[in-house]
Amino acid sequence: MTSIRTGLHELNLRSWVELPRRAATETHLVLPNGADLLALCRWAAQNEFYLCTLAASDERMLEDNALKVYVVLSGGDRQLAILEHPIERDAFQYLAYHESFPSALPLERAAIDLYGVAPGNVALEGGMLLHPASFPPDLYPLRRNRTNERLRRLIAATKPVVERSGELPYGVMRLLVGPIHAGVIEAGQFRFYVAGEVIEDLEIRLGYKHRGIEKLFETGYTLTTGQQLAECIAGDSAFAHSLAYSQAVENLVAAPLPPAADYWRGLLLEMERLYNHIGDVAALVHDIAYDLIASELAVLRERLLRLNAALTGHRFLRGVNHPGGVTIQHPEQLPDVSHELLRITDLFLGWVARHVLPNATCRNRFLTTGVLTKAEALGIGATGLPARASGCWTQDFRLRHPAGVYALPGIGDELCSLVRGTLLDSGENLLPSESHRRVPVYRNNLTGDVMARLLVRVAEVESSAKIVERLASELNSMERLGWGMSKVGGATSSIRSGRGQGHDLPVSPRDPSLYNWPALRLAVIRKLRWRRLMTASRRRGDLGEYPGGFSDHQQVQSGLRGKRWLKRARARGGIKMAREQPAPPSSLPELLLSRLLGVFRNRSRYAEPIASPGDRLAREHRSVFLRHLDCGSCNGCELELIAMSNPIYDSERFGIRFDASPRHADALVMTGVFTRNLAEAALNTLDAMSEPKRIVTVGDCTEGGGIFAGSYALAERPGEIEEVIIAHIPGCPPKPEEILRALGAVEW
């Protein structure tokens, strides 16, 4: 396979230095000439390299005495290239790379905000993380001479900049959505440009929840404690972020790990993937008003979160990772947990195969909706699941750059083989019985629409369950051989912090979703030619379907695999006629009534008794309408607020429900720290409430900033908010039953 050194020789570059790396597949090059680095990036893009990340660093107080830009590229055959470019002192300029790698654009804008380092060859503005209305233009908080005291003085002298929008073309209207949304959703602003019912363009504005995490890493945490902050970057991927930080520190100090630690990390990563995928599928089904199935899937997700707590002591797997190993509170629960996990995934696959994939309503809503083509995914550098659903099969870091348990001899190859088998090849020639999968998903059927992304999630749930089963069996045998958890984490003693209170080393966390926001824009804007082609294909029966044990009639009518596949499958005995199913309700009222009764039966079957004063609301025939207000959370509290409405907790039986409008709400439920970028939106939401105004704060971050206390990105809550706070619910995050008890105890 082509390596980055090949590009050096083909371009005849002379001014570069190679630094040593421990891994044979890693190459670290220092290129002082910016034009050489730009040429090498162009060559890498043409040779199918992928941008992992781009980060600036202020190293003017270190031996190189320079600002630097790092570009990390992923190539074939597990090659990883680290390209380092020192910038001339006090120049603060380099050559932009987003023409070669479009996914570098938000990272280049972040470098402008945080370091004041801007491209010199193109006009590019910052303001992505530090909005002009909230921060001064020359703050640059990650420069070495910016202390917290100096940052506070600069911010205090800020004069807000009023942003103005330009004129729109005739017939086009701008529709603003956010940053505070109608549901329990992340803060962000979406500016839709619509002409009639057609979305012509979409502008996405992020950074509202900027909490100054990078500065906190430098000033408030040591190398051995930074994982505590890393796991609070995003609540739904707490384990992944803390693992990325821990592995970075371990690579920095060459800390060895016992195999048991790698096995545990691999197992818990897949458990995190499982509950996220099942939750996302439930959300997709809920979005098309298929609440009966959505509630069933929400119950399965809740059961997975309880397995996390039974094994590690935390529903979101916090407090497990640390540099040098892991801490498992209840390892003896692993056999029971793995057995229950397999039962849950089996139920999930059964629900999806029987009630989602063969459902005509689901197919009509998901097929050809939100299409992201393979060319578009490659062009913008999309990553992860959206890229795989668009045909970029290799965009999986477990395969491109195996680490941890995936890199161990023997077991690593076996696990990578399971990952490769997630999406099946040559779907026209394979029968479901030959694939050894409950819900086989074929690569040639993934066309980048919502259905494709749904199916990749379903396929990865099945693969993750198999990986968990395999790793659990290995860990059980290790325990019998004497692998005690006391041996895990002993290497942390070799890690030392830098000068001062923090470790003084720059940390640049990046959530994978940053690369996929441009994909959302491309998925929603109109694609008239694409829709015409897809509609014509569906009419001809050319579109592949997704087999899952459906009847012949369903296969032909829905066409998920087409008539030719069905004919061959029947000839080979691979398809059996489905059992006779009951006739559907004959009228719309009967259909609605059957679904409502199903939801009610569902909730009464799962609802657990909760010793809560909320029963008083039900006895008094009263209800409380709440409106969510995200002021800068990690989304952990939001996930638990959403869980309150699943059939297990069923908050509506206590009269507690969320409303879309602050004008109809009895109280605001505030989560997260009070960021400067969200301060104005929070006050506008409070002003929209009718009297009496009430606020209930949820989570430790709402009182004093929690783990983010002391950050320059936080604002002091104004008096009009403080004086209407009627209750605080502690926890990081508080569990759903704790939130219900606290809300029930409030005197409304």
pLDDT tens profile 260-274: 999 999 999 999 999
C-beta neighbour count of 518 within 10 angstroms: 22
- The more confidently predicted of residues 281 and 158 is 281
The torsion angle over the Cα atoms of residues 539, 544, 548 and 551, rounded to 10 degrees, is 40
DSSP 242-311: HHHHHHHHHHHHT----HHHHHHHHHHHHHHHHHHHHHHHHHHHHHTT-HHHHHHHHHHHHHHHHHHHHH
pLDDT at residue 426, as a whole number: 60
**pLDDT category, 744, cuts 50, 70, 90?**
confident
pLDDT at residue 625, as a whole number: 93
Rounded-to-integer distance, Cα 235 and Cα 74, Å:
27
Mean pLDDT of 420-427: 78
In which element (H, E) is residue 397 found? helix 397-400
Cα separations in angstroms, 131 against 145, 522, 676, 712: 22, 24, 9, 13
Cβ-in-10-Å burial (0-12, 13-18, 19+) of 153 comes to: exposed
**pLDDT category, 62, cuts 50, 70, 90?**
confident
In which element (H, E) is residue 20 found? none
Total-model pTM: 0.86
| pLDDT tens digits along 196-211 | 888 888 888 999 999 9
**pLDDT category, 565, cuts 50, 70, 90?**
very low
Mean pLDDT of 556-565: 39
pLDDT at residue 49, as a whole number: 92
Q: Is the predicted pLDDT of residue 430 greater than 90, yes or no?
A: no
3-state secondary structure at position 699: coil
CB 353 within 8 A of CB 283: no
| pLDDT tens digits along 158-183 | 776 666 666 788 888 888 888 988 77
Q: Is the predicted pLDDT of residue 553 greater than 90, yes or no?
A: no
pLDDT at residue 653, as a whole number: 86
- The more confidently predicted of residues 77 and 663 is 663
Q: Is the predicted pLDDT of residue 554 greater than 50, yes or no?
A: no
| pLDDT tens digits along 210-253 | 999 999 998 889 888 999 999 999 999 999 999 999 999 998 88
pLDDT at residue 428, as a whole number: 47
| pLDDT tens digits along 622-640 | 789 999 999 999 999 999 9
**pLDDT category, 413, cuts 50, 70, 90?**
very high
Cα separations in angstroms, 29 against 35, 86, 108, 321: 14, 11, 20, 31
Q: Within 13 Å of residue 189, how many CA atoms lie on the same side as its CB? A: 15
pLDDT at residue 602, as a whole number: 57
| pLDDT tens digits along 512-551 | 788 888 888 888 887 655 444 444 444 444 444 433 333 3
Mean pLDDT of 711-717: 93
pLDDT at residue 491, as a whole number: 29
Q: Peptide bond before 733: cis, by omega within 30 degrees of 0?
A: yes
Q: Is the predicted pLDDT of residue 285 greater than 60, yes or no?
A: yes
**pLDDT category, 139, cuts 50, 70, 90?**
very high
CA 250 to chain centre: 24
Mean pLDDT, the chain, rounded, equals: 82
Mean pLDDT of 598-605: 57
Mean pLDDT of 661-685: 93
Using a pLDDT cut of 70, give the percent of the chain over it.
82
Residue with tokens 């099969």: 393
Cα separations in angstroms, 260 against 240, 246, 314, 475, 643: 18, 16, 20, 7, 33
- The more confidently predicted of residues 555 and 295 is 295
DSSP 49-115: -EEEEEEEEEETTSTT-EEEEEEEEE-STT-EEEEEEEEPTTT-EE---TTT-GGGHHHHHHHHHHH
Q: Is the predicted pLDDT of residue 254 greater than 80, yes or no?
A: yes
CA 366 to chain centre: 21
pLDDT at residue 599, as a whole number: 53
Enter the tokens of residue 674: 């009070």
| pLDDT tens digits along 84-109 | 999 987 778 899 999 999 999 999 99
**pLDDT category, 338, cuts 50, 70, 90?**
very high
- The more confidently predicted of residues 589 and 365 is 365
pLDDT at residue 83, as a whole number: 95
pLDDT at residue 12, as a whole number: 92
pLDDT at residue 583, as a whole number: 43
Q: Is the predicted pLDDT of residue 694 greater than 60, yes or no?
A: yes
Q: Is the predicted pLDDT of residue 320 greater than 60, yes or no?
A: yes
- The more confidently predicted of residues 649 and 425 is 649
Phi, psi of 261 (to 5 degrees): -65, -45
Q: Is the predicted pLDDT of residue 1 greater than 80, yes or no?
A: no
Enter the tokens of residue 245: 């930080």
**pLDDT category, 310, cuts 50, 70, 90?**
very high
pLDDT at residue 507, as a whole number: 85
Mean pLDDT of 502-511: 73
pLDDT at residue 590, as a whole number: 54
- The more confidently predicted of residues 556 and 386 is 386
Comparing CA positions, the residue from 537, 533, 568, 536 lying closest to residue 427 is: 568
**pLDDT category, 609, cuts 50, 70, 90?**
confident
Cβ-in-10-Å burial (0-12, 13-18, 19+) of 597 comes to: exposed
Enter the tokens of residue 604: 């009464």
In which element (H, E) is residue 11 found? none
CB contact burial 208-239 (16+ within 10 A = b; e otherwise): bbbbbbbbbbbbbbbbbebbbbbbbbbbbbbb
Enter the tokens of residue 120: 């010199």
